[in-house]
Amino acid sequence: MTYFMVVAKRLAGLISSFRLQSFFLFLLTLMMAIEEKGAVLYIVAGLIFIVKVYLIPMFLRHVAKRIKTNENLGLFINPQLSLFAALGLTYLSYLFTFKVFPLADKVQSASFALSLCVTLVGLFIMIFRMKALTQIIGLMVMENGLFLSAAAVSRGMPFLVEIAIFLDVLVSVIILGVFVYRINALFTHIDVSKLKHLKG
């Protein structure tokens, strides 16, 4: 799924793939909840569904429509090369997991490597795409990766922390969205590669 994002050229495509990724995260958490029969995990899964699958993509779409941004993402690196880079990042995260990070369980380490890879690709999207909105999505992808890794290595964070992080994610997306509005209003574009006033 993550690979789709790397090749995605259009904003709408990117948002939908983010939604799908979050949906998988939701499924995973739900599976864990069923397995462990913990009420806490059910709540977390529900929150993932509401916040990440529903609210955030909707909000992003709303912002994208309001500012009528040009659909094209503005790539620093073309899709093919990006895909290779993503493959490289995946390899690196597997290497890191198996060489450096000792985990007993085979499945656990595989999912940890996967989550690390998702996080790295999120970072990649943030760096190599020019639009402010894509940076938000990159950030959210990183966050998804983190949730996956938390689920992989320790069956999720403590409940209170998890809830607080959720609220935080929601607030940060909204605030970032507000800033995208402002950037758009002031600069009449949201191309962050052209924000170059401040130097030295």
User: Whole-number minimum distance, CB 90 to another protein, in Å?
Assistant: 17
CB closer to another protein, 11 vs 190: 190
Q: Which residues contact 83 (CB under 8 A, 6 or more apart)?
A: 3, 6, 7
Distance (Å, whole) CA 162 – CA 156: 8
| Rounded Cα gap, residues 136 and 173, in angstroms | 7
Shortest separation between residue 121's beta carbon and another protein, angstroms: 13
- 78 or 156, CB closer to another protein? 156
Do 44 and 107 form a contact (C-beta atoms < 8 A)? no
Burial (CB < 10 A; 0-12, 13-18, 19+), residue 175, is exposed
Q: Which is nearer to another protein, 78 or 179 (CB)?
A: 179
Q: Residue 80 Cβ, how far from another protein at the closest point, in Å?
A: 26
Q: Which is nearer to another protein, 11 or 132 (CB)?
A: 132
Q: Which is nearer to another protein, 85 or 165 (CB)?
A: 165
* Binding footprint of another protein on the chain (CB under 8 A): 100-102, 119, 123, 126, 132, 135, 139, 142-143, 146, 149-150, 153-155, 157-158, 160-161, 164-165, 167-168, 171-172, 175-176, 179, 182-183, 186-187, 192, 195, 197-198, 200
Q: Is 56:78 a contact under the CB 8 Å cutoff? A: no
> Nearest approach, Cβ of 144 to another protein (angstroms)?
11
Find the shortest distance in angstroms from Cβ 122 to another protein.
8
Q: How far is Cα 163 from Cα 161, in angstroms, rounded to an integer?
A: 5
Pairwise CA distance, residues 16 & 34, whole Å: 27
